[in-house]
Structure formats: C-alpha cells, structure tokens
Amino acid sequence: MAIFDVMGPIMIGPSSSHTAGAAKIGYLARCVYGKPVQHVRITLYNSFAETGRGHGTHMALLAGILGLHVDDARIRHSFALAREQGATVTFEEVLDPEKHPNTAVITFTDAGDRHPFVVEGISVGGGAVKIVGINGTRVDFSGKHNLLLVAYADVPGMMGIIGDRLAERGVNIAYAQISRDRNTRAAMAIMKLDQPCPDAVAAELKADHHVTDVVTIPRLGVEYERTEED
Amino acid sequence: MSAPKKTEATVRPRRFRIHGLSDAREYMKTGHLATLGEFFVLYEATNQDLPRSTVVSRMETVLEAMRQSVSQGLAHANTTRSGMIDAGAARMDRFLAEGGSLLGTGFSTVVRNTLAVAENNACMGCIVAAPTAGASGVLPGAYLTVADNFQIPQSRIVQGLFVAGGIGECIALQASLSGSQHGCQAENGSASAMTAAALVSLFTDDPDAIESAAAFALKSVLGLVCDPVAGLVEVPCIKRNVMAAVNAVASAEMALAGIRTVIPFDEVVQAMGRIGRDMPVSLKETSLGGLAATPAGLHIAEAFRKNAGLDQDA
C-alpha cells in the first residue's frame, strides 16, 4: 500500500467502494467506449443493487460515464447533466450470486451501431476498481497503467506486431493479456504500458486490416485523482 | 546535529520494506532521520518512485481538501434522504456560539468540525478518505482544529499528515483499514490512532510519544463493530467519528504528558486484526446485526428502501 492510498482518495462521499469506485467504473467504461454517449443501460448487481440508493451509486456510475472524476461535486447532479447532454439512461438492479458483490454492467447503445457495447466493472474496495469484461471478452485492468486495447480478428502474429510498433517508439510493455471469444474468434489484446501509448501507434494499428478497434487510455492517476497530481 | 549529515543517496535504500512501526523506527535510527514524518515522506517518494517535492505537494493538496471539507460541512444545515442526519454540525455551531461548551470552546470545536466533515461525506460532499470515507471526519476535526488553535506552520501540519498516513500504513500492513474486514475498530479506530500520532508530532519529535499516542487511541476502541443502519454511512458512523476525534486528543495529551504505552503499537494492531477475524460477519458492515438490527434501525431501513429514488435532485 502507499501513504496516499491511506490518505485518500479525495472524493465525493459517502462510500469509497459504492460512490468513488462506482464513478471510476463509469469513467473507465466511458474511456473504453470512446464515443459520445447516446443511450446507456446500467445494471447494478448485489450490494450495488441493495445499498446503492443510499450511497449515490446510480448517480456516481452515471457521473463517471459522463466524464466526471471522483471528486467532482456535480456527481449528485449527474441525472440533470445527462439530460443536458442529450443522453438517456435506464437502470436495472439484479441479484446474482455468481457476480462480485459490487458489480456494474454498462451497456452503451448508439442508433448508428449494429451491436450494443458492453463494459463490466467491479469495485474492490477503497475506491479501487477493475474492468473485467468488454463485449463478453474477459479482461482485467484497473486504470493504474497506461492502456492500449486492440480488438482484432484472431490471426497469428498480432502480439508481435503490437510489440514492434510500441518498441519502435520506445514504449515498454509492463503486462500483457490476450483473450479470445471462442465463437466469434474475436480477440482482444490488453497492453499495460510504462508510458502512454503514442497516437501514431494507435493509428498504425488501426490501419491493419485484421484490427477492428484500438483504444488508448492514459493511466488515471495523473489527472484523475487529485492526490495523484504532479 | 552532531552526526555528519548524510546525503539522501546514502540514506535511501532502493525500496523501504517495513512490516510495522518498529521497522519504520529502525530505518529512522539507521538513516539518521530526525522525525517519523520525514521517514514516511522518504518512504513514499522511494517506494512510489517519485521526487520528494511531488510527494510533499500531494500532501499539501490533501490538506487543502481536508480544510475545504470542514468549511463545506459547516456552510449549510446538512440533511440526508434517510432523515437520519438533521443538521448536527449546524446545531453544534449554534451551541458553541451561545457559550454552551462544557469543557471550553476547543473541545466543542473538535466535536463540531468532526460532525461537519462526517455529515458532508454522508451528503455527497467532497472529503478525503483518511483512511476511509466513513471515518473521514476524524483527522480534519481533531488534527486541523488543534493545529490551527496553536497556529502551527503549514509545513509542520503537512509533516504530521505523513505521520498519520504512516500509522495508517502500519495498520494496513498488519491488519486492515476496512470495516468489512475488521469492523469499525479498523476504520474509526485507525483514524483515531493516526490522528493521535499526528497531534503529538506537532509538539514533539519523540517517536516513543508518537507511538504511545497511536497505541492508546487504538487500544481504547478494540472490538468496535461496524453496524450501519440501513447500510448507510450515517448512524452510528457520524457520532463514532466524534468519539474517535475526542479519543485522539485525549490519547495525544496522555502521551505528551509522558505516559507510555505498555503494549507496543504493532502488537496492538495485531490484536486488532485477531479481534476483527474473530468478529461475526453480522457485525462487519453487513447491516445484519448490532444497531442495524434494532427495531428502530430496521424500521428506517424498510422506509428508506421503499422511498429512496435514484436521483437525489428529483
């Protein structure tokens, strides 16, 4: 643990897991989705469903989806903010013992898209979160690293290509995961990087005809949490 | 200083590995560091691979956010949708202004400011979770009130926050800071120990005094359960913040008077962890026992479930 994990985060109350963690899940989901929000369905599971109302969990999830940080006083006004931005939102509350106690599944739909975009996150305590699913693919990242997510049709050599592009610009990979959907053969590579992913790398990867989507997310620490500011 | 002043490079290992406060104090001695606060500045800078100045400026940001959490909590009458919070800080403010204090205005100001922050947290205001959101009133309520009373310079207040954070780190390393793992002793109890240690550090660098204050504060709340009514961070959490703040000041005064703990702080922490593990799940943030399971508590929970909307503005 770090001293600033004890002395922080600076956050909107009342709960680090159910308010700050919820806002962070929403924020990461927004980053992964990467488009203006038209309609979003938020499904809260278990403890989020049972005690979320008293902890502002619904407001916090929505606030994060709209781009607010954990210490933003506008979290409590996120419903009004969504209306202003023209985004519509629906909620579901579900009990499912198979899911982590603090789980949220966020489903983005856009009139222009054939399929909804689904992000699943869990709040693991003290404001720390994990994104555990993207469109049915199992993933595992927290926002503590710079991220490069590459969705592609599963072909040999993709990891090599991604690694080469990053190495050419001096970016080091700290951790890497790949997962694949058995049925669709859609694959996803998640690279946790020591430096932010350069735009040029994202553009080069996007140009590869096997690649369907590229998302880069700078580590949340630098600008997301005020205690992390340099 | 009589010993030759060592440069940072010779003092700092590549990474500090501590298991508790005794290790931290050992590093302090071998590194010729004058204060525990300075050790924890170096600890954070080294282990997180950050410049010292960055670590200090982050703590200044934390201090500023704590100050704002007090003024925000005092700015208006705080109420929550459950109906359980009814302008406690505002009432205490009036009581103070009307000369009602039983033990002088300093004591009542600690009570008022702690309420202000804990209520601000319950009302979705901005706070510093130190160590948790549920115990966020203790440090600003007791530590900042005393520091301002004595017009302590900002740099010393910031150093004290590193002492507080270091004590919290020592608890996290040996037990937990989470109510769902060890009950309220781990949340408000830890906050109380952190605050007591930080308070002492404002007046003496003696690590024996700092350690004793932290030990006194934690010993007195061992076994405290986490039993929030309706699962909300309101009853009894907010008043327990006040208890923890007042307990911190008393513990600090005893330590400054030269009273020393019989049980070393690390052993108190380990006892807290064992007690937490022995505690039934019903008393660890599940709202299945204690005050949450009283008729009044259950009644509030039921009414809240029926009536609470999703949108606070609506």
pLDDT for the residue numbered A180: 87
Mean pLDDT of A4-31: 95
pLDDT for the residue numbered B289: 96
Number of other CB atoms surrounding residue A62 within 10 Å:
28
Nearest CB to B166 within list A3, A13, A16: A3
Alpha helix positions (H), A34-152: 46-55, 57-65, 78-85
pLDDT digits (tens, 9 = 90+) for A54-85: 899 999 999 999 999 999 999 999 999 999 99
Contacts of B121 in chain A (CB under 8 A): 13-14
Averaged pLDDT of chain A: 92
pLDDT over 60 at B19, yes or no? yes
Question: Among residues B224, B254, B218, which one has the least CA distance to residue B239?
Answer: B224
Sheet architecture: strand order including A137-141:
A88-94, A39-45, A102-109, A117-125, A128-134, A137-141
C-beta of residue B229 within 8 angstroms of C-beta of residue B123: no
Query: Can you tell me whether residue B15 is helix, strand or coil?
Result: coil
pLDDT for the residue numbered B11: 55
Contact A10 B48 (CB under 8 A): no
Parallel, antiparallel, or unpaired for β A39-45 and A102-109? antiparallel
Count of alpha carbons within 13 angstroms of residue A109, beta-carbon side: 11
pLDDT over 90 at A126, yes or no? no
| Token output for B144 | 């900042």
pLDDT for the residue numbered B14: 85
Contacts of A80 in chain B (CB under 8 A): 313
B112: confidence class by pLDDT, cuts 50, 70, 90: very high
Query: Can you tell me whether residue B188 is helix, strand or coil?
Result: helix
Contact A230 B54 (CB under 8 A): yes
Minimal-distance CA residue of chain A relative to B304: A54
DSSP, res B86: B
pLDDT digits (tens, 9 = 90+) for B71-80: 999 999 999 9
C-beta of residue A154 within 8 angstroms of C-beta of residue A146: no
Mean pLDDT of A118-135: 93
pLDDT over 70 at A230, yes or no? no
pLDDT over 80 at A226, yes or no? no
pLDDT for the residue numbered B314: 60
pLDDT for the residue numbered B13: 79
Mean pLDDT of B137-150: 98
pLDDT over 90 at B8, yes or no? no
Contact A51 B232 (CB under 8 A): yes
Distance from CA of A88 to the nearest CA of B (A): 14
Contacts of A11 in chain B (CB under 8 A): 126-129, 133
Taking the C-alpha atoms of residue A81 and residue B291, their distance in angstroms, rounded to an integer, is 37
Minimal-distance CA residue of chain A relative to B130: A7
pLDDT over 50 at A172, yes or no? yes
pLDDT over 90 at B307, yes or no? no
Contact A11 B127 (CB under 8 A): yes
pLDDT for the residue numbered A32: 96
pLDDT over 90 at B97, yes or no? yes
pLDDT for the residue numbered A185: 83
pLDDT for the residue numbered B278: 97
Averaged pLDDT of chain B: 94
A229: confidence class by pLDDT, cuts 50, 70, 90: very low
pLDDT for the residue numbered B1: 43
Please, what's the largest Cα pairwise distance for chain A? 50
C-beta of residue B292 within 8 angstroms of C-beta of residue B232: no
Q: Percent of chain B scored above 90 by pLDDT?
A: 89
pLDDT digits (tens, 9 = 90+) for B178-211: 998 999 999 999 999 999 999 999 999 999 999 9
Contact A53 B304 (CB under 8 A): yes
pLDDT over 70 at A10, yes or no? yes
Mean pLDDT of B212-232: 97
Question: Among residues A147, A141, A142, which one has the least CA distance to residue A202?
Answer: A147
Contacts of A228 in chain B (CB under 8 A): 58
CB burial of residue A74 (10 Å; 0-12, 13-18, 19+): middle
Mean pLDDT of B276-301: 95
Count of alpha carbons within 13 angstroms of residue B71, beta-carbon side: 6
pLDDT for the residue numbered B203: 98
Nearest CB to B61 within list A11, A59, A226: A226
Q: Percent of chain A scored above 70 by pLDDT?
A: 96
- A223 vs B233, residue with greater confidence: B233
C-beta of residue B238 within 8 angstroms of C-beta of residue B89: no
Distance from CA of B312 to the nearest CA of A (A): 6
Length of chain B: 314
Q: Across chain B, where does the E strand assignment appear?
A: 126-128
Taking the C-alpha atoms of residue B46 and residue B8, their distance in angstroms, rounded to an integer, is 11
- A230 vs B56, residue with greater confidence: B56
pLDDT over 60 at B10, yes or no? no
Nearest CB to A6 within list B136, B169, B287: B169
Distance from CA of A5 to the nearest CA of B (A): 8
pLDDT for the residue numbered B310: 78
Contact A7 B178 (CB under 8 A): no
- A204 vs B13, residue with greater confidence: A204
